[in-house]
Amino acid sequence: MEAVYSRTKTLNGNLLGFCPGCMHGTVFKLIGEVLEEMNIDSSTTAILGIGCCGLAQEVVSYDLATAPHGRACAVATGLKRANPDTIVFTYQGDGDLASIGLAETIHAANRGENITTIFINNGIYGMTGGQMAPTTLVGMKATTAPGGRDPGQHGYPLHMAEIIDQLIAPVYIERVSCNNPANVRRTKNAIRKAFRNQIECRGYSLVEVVTSCPTNWGLNPGKSLGFLEENMFKEFPLGVLRDNTEVK
Amino acid sequence: MSKKLFLKGGEAIAEAAVRAGCRFYAGYPITPQNEIPEYMARRQPQVGGVFVQGESEIASVNMVYGAGASGTRSMTSSSSVGISLKSEGISYCASARVPMVYVNMQRGGPGVGTIQASQQDYFQATKASGNGGFRMIVLAPSTVQEAVDMTYQAFDLADRDRNPVLILGDGVIGTIMEPVVLPEMKSDEEVAALKAKHHGWAIVGHSREEKRGFLTPGFWSTDSLEAHCLELEKLYSSWEENDVQVEELYLEDAEVVLVAYGTSARIAKSTMEIMRDEGCRIGMIRPKTVSPFPARSFDRINYDTCRCVLDVEMSIPAQMLYDVRLGVKDRAPVECCLRSGGNLIEREDVVKEIKKILEGGGR
Ligand SMILES: Cc1ncc(C[n+]2csc(CCOP(=O)(O)OP(=O)(O)O)c2C)c(N)n1
């Protein structure tokens, strides 16, 4: 029988430790497939943020370093500037990218660093157990906002794609999700485009993936999808915010 | 080749770094070390290197982590309060075994302190430069020439050990002008070869047949991290044997032994020379590496003649004092001559302390 589907070679077969219903695994699979299809996995380095993504460090086959919490875009800047031929991407959660690493994120984007950022927005701190993130929705409960996010105390969710869209330098900004097969395909296309931009030296690309966190949302995977579609997508609408890919 | 140039400390260090093959520098402005980033901004593009003004010290040190992780000779610099911000990144480099060199031109502290020279970061430099109990070789130049030579050497040490190396200067070393002879410029081929040597572990991409580059200061297994710590400990203890650098003067007949490093050592040394001319038997230990600390030099003091060891440093409260006491092991009393906050020690301060000891009678 002809094999029509197999695991990407960029995943080494070690078990992924993500919770049921978590989308980190899907995104790592998509990244791996893109790298393999574009035949760039042997020249690619991942800079992981600190968070649940660390669970993938021994699962992917390409080069990898872990950055201090929030500093992935600075580490990527140094690596890419010193090694323009290496394909460098950062992979960061919302606490990492939008809270502690806000300065590094915005300044790397503003310098137009020729890197790719994959931003996993699950509206909560996953790894540390459900604390409030800068992207937590108004009213959404977190262990450090037991009464739910209250704008009077905590302000409003940060819209990172829109914030970065205020900058002149970035070439490509898209918000996607992995809640159904069509969106998984869109996510893969967005990731491919973001890497192609880097190969063609166009500059900074951001792919924000809005995802669920069943464990820390306190919902089962099915209900998490419902919450994602009804609430997260309202706050973080999917779509292309900027695409200067064809402009030279 | 051995032409003498008249250079400012910070610029001389930057040029020495470039000559040693440094091709990546990132830093953030702070006095008294701005000469280094400003020089690098002009110089790196001339040699095909990279200069980035980071948005903060935190960003800068992490850029160096990224560049150093590719085997590129990389450097950052700052002063005191800015060095505090770099500490997490340096700890990551030490754990991930990323070679890098950084400079601290110490200024008065704590807090934002003053912009004048001090030696108030001794503990931070030698004992706890970040979390986790890692160690570094810390070179403490006393002259601009020494700063140049140590910078050149620092990159070799960082490469050899795959560990951060710190040049511990101060506001005087950073801004003073002195005649120097610069080391040889490494050729582009040499610089490329130095980088290529690291290809095995560097995170620049590896073919599917090769072992991947994998640098993570994060571990899921406590046993793996403990094994890593044991590995690091082996490295650190090798320095005691091989890497101590020290200047020892007149230990065989000294009645008073001065201990000082960096800028204080200049003042202590000239005091010693003047007083010896006047017939006072003064000696000196000048740590050139404050880590590893030259503890064994204190075994070479003649405790039959030595009445006191005088710790001379620009820090109140004293910091190097504790290493001095460990070296002396109660074989002589230890006194201090201190200034702080950005105030320089003056020769008269040292003379006064020595006279007090000498006039104080026998042991
Ligand atoms: C300097 C620092 N502060 C705090 C932490 C603890 N910490 C680990 S992961 C994390 C948050 C992760 O949340 P997020 O970035 O949203 O990623 P997720 O785990 O949800 O994927 C925090 C605060 C740390 N490792 N380092």
The reply to whether B19 falls in a domain is yes
In a shared domain, residues B175 and B278: no
Distance CA B136, CA B129 (A): 9
In a shared domain, residues B256 and B174: no
Print the domain residue range for B49.
4-196
Q: Bridge-partner residues for A92, per DSSP?
A: A119
Digit-by-digit pLDDT tens for chain B (363 residues) are: 579 999 999 999 999 999 999 999 999 999 999 999 999 999 999 999 999 999 999 999 999 999 999 999 999 999 999 999 999 999 999 999 999 999 999 999 999 999 999 999 999 999 999 999 999 999 999 999 999 999 999 999 999 999 999 999 999 999 999 999 999 999 999 999 999 999 999 999 999 999 999 998 999 999 999 999 999 999 999 999 999 999 999 999 999 999 999 999 999 999 999 999 999 999 999 999 999 999 999 999 999 999 999 999 999 999 999 999 999 999 999 999 999 999 999 999 999 999 999 998 654
Ligand 1 centroid, distance to A126 Cα (angstroms)? 8
Print the domain residue range for A133.
24-146+153-243
Say if CB B80 and CB B31 are below 8 A apart.
no
Distance CA B202, CA B212 (A): 9
Residue nearest to atom 22 of ligand 1 (CA): A128
- Per the structure block, which two tokens stand in for B164? 């951060």
Chain-wide mean pLDDT for chain A?
97
Q: Which residues of B touch A42 (CB under 8 A)?
A: 205-208
Residue nearest to atom 4 of ligand 1 (CA): A69
Ligand 1 centroid, distance to A71 Cα (angstroms)? 12
Q: Which residue of A has its CA nearest to B200?
A: A63
pLDDT of residue A1: 85
The reply to whether B204 falls in a domain is no
Closest atom of ligand 1 to A49 CA is 15
- Per the structure block, which two tokens stand in for B62? 């992490």
DSSP helix/strand/coil, B243: coil
Q: Residue B346 is part of a domain; what is its CATH number?
A: 3.40.50.920
Q: In what order do the strands lie in the sheet with B334-338?
A: B246-249, B282-287, B256-259, B308-313, B334-338
Q: Residue A135 is part of a domain; what is its CATH number?
A: 3.40.50.970
Of A77, A78, A34, A28, give the one whose Cα is nearest residue A57: A28
Q: How far is CA B321 from CA B67, B113, B308, in A?
A: 37, 22, 13
pLDDT of residue B360: 84
In a shared domain, residues B166 and B280: no
In a shared domain, residues B190 and B265: no
CA atoms within 13 A on the CB side of A8: 23
Residue nearest to atom 10 of ligand 1 (CA): A51
The pairing of beta strand A44-48 with beta strand A63-66: parallel
- Rounded to two decimals, the pTM is 0.97
Average pLDDT over residues A199-205: 98
Q: Which residue of A has its CA nearest to B22?
A: A82
- Per the structure block, which two tokens stand in for A171? 């070439």
Q: Residue B147 is part of a domain; what is its CATH number?
A: 3.40.50.970
pLDDT of residue B216: 87
The reply to whether A13 falls in a domain is no
Say if CB B295 and CB B326 are below 8 A apart.
yes
The reply to whether A1 falls in a domain is no
Q: Chain A: nearest CA to B201, how far in angstroms?
A: 9
The reply to whether B208 falls in a domain is no
The ipTM is 0.97
List the end-to-end C-alpha distance of chain A, in Å, as a whole number: 46
The reply to whether B102 falls in a domain is yes
Distance CA A57, CA A65 (A): 8
Q: How far is CA B309 from CA A227, B121, B140, B299, in A?
A: 72, 22, 20, 12
Question: A72: exposed, middle or buried (C-beta count within 10 Å: 0-12, 13-18, 19+)?
Answer: buried
Distance CA B158, CA B138 (A): 11
Establish if A199 touches chain B: CB-CB under 8 angstroms.
Answer: no
Distance CA B175, CA A78 (A): 28
The reply to whether A32 falls in a domain is yes
The reply to whether A70 falls in a domain is yes
- pLDDT tens digits, one per residue of A144-178: 999 999 999 999 999 999 999 999 999 999 999 99
Closest atom of ligand 1 to B88 CA is 1
Number of domains, chain B: 2
pLDDT of residue A130: 97
Written as one letter, the residue type at B123 is F
Q: Which residue has the tokens 């200069």?
A: B51
In a shared domain, residues B166 and B68: yes
Alpha helices in B3-121 (DSSP H): 9-19, 35-43, 57-68, 81-96
Of B174, B337, B342, give the one whose Cα is nearest residue B271: B337
- pLDDT tens digits, one per residue of A36-89: 999 999 999 999 999 999 999 999 999 999 999 999 999 999 999 999 999 999
Ligand 1 pocket test, candidate residues A27, A69, A131, A215, most atoms within 8 A of CB: A69
Q: Which residues of B touch A45 (CB under 8 A)?
A: 203-205, 213
Residue nearest to atom 13 of ligand 1 (CA): A125
Q: Per the omega criterion (within 30 degrees of 0), is the bond before B32 cis?
A: yes
Element (H, E) at A173: strand A172-177
Written as one letter, the residue type at A1 is M
Are B24 and A104 in contact (CB < 8 Å)? Answer: no
Counting DSSP H helices and E strands in chain B, the numbers are 12, 15
DSSP A37-59: HTT-GGGEEEEE-SSGGGGGTTT
3-state percent helix, strand, coil for chain B, nearest multiple of 5: 40, 20, 40
DSSP B196-227: HTTTTTSSS---TTSPPPEE-S--S-HHHHHH
Q: Which residue has the tokens 């070799």?
A: B156
Residue nearest to atom 8 of ligand 1 (CA): A51
Number of Cβ within a 10 Å radius of residue A85 = 8
Of B178, B211, B358, B207, give the one whose Cα is nearest residue B279: B358
The reply to whether B47 falls in a domain is yes
Q: Which residues of A touch B206 (CB under 8 A)?
A: 42, 62-63
The reply to whether A17 falls in a domain is no
Task: Encode A195-222 in three state secondary structure.
Answer: HHHHHCCCCCEEEEEECCCHHHHCCCHH
Res A203 pLDDT > 60: yes
Ligand 1 pocket test, candidate residues A127, A131, A158, A216, most atoms within 8 A of CB: A127
Interface mutation vs chain A, best among B203, B216, B220, most A CBs within 10 Å: B203
In a shared domain, residues B148 and B253: no
Q: Between B2 and A13, whose confidence is greater? A: A13
Interface mutation vs chain A, best among B51, B55, B60, B62, most A CBs within 10 Å: B62
The reply to whether B230 falls in a domain is no
The reply to whether B153 falls in a domain is yes
Task: Encode A146-158 in three state secondary structure.
Answer: CCCECHHHHCCCC
Residue nearest to atom 12 of ligand 1 (CA): A51
Interface mutation vs chain B, best among A55, A57, A60, A77, most B CBs within 10 Å: A77
- Ligand 1 neighbours, Cβ below 6 Å, are A 49-53, 69, 93-96, 120, 122, 125-128, 133
Ligand 1 centroid, distance to B352 Cα (angstroms)? 55
In a shared domain, residues B8 and B69: yes
The pairing of beta strand A87-93 with beta strand A116-121: parallel
The reply to whether B213 falls in a domain is no
Are B205 and A87 in contact (CB < 8 Å)? Answer: yes
Last-in-domain residue among B130, B162, B196:
B196
From the list A9, A45, A54, the residue facing B204 with the nearest CB is A45
The reply to whether A110 falls in a domain is yes
pLDDT of residue B1: 54
Establish if A96 touches chain B: CB-CB under 8 angstroms.
Answer: no
pLDDT of residue B2: 75
CA-CA-CA-CA torsion for B129, B132, B136, B139, nearest 10 degrees? 20
Q: Rounded to the nearest 5°, which phi and psi values hold at B96?
A: -80, -5
pLDDT of residue B361: 62
Q: Which residue of A has its CA nearest to B210?
A: A42
Establish if A63 touches chain B: CB-CB under 8 angstroms.
Answer: yes
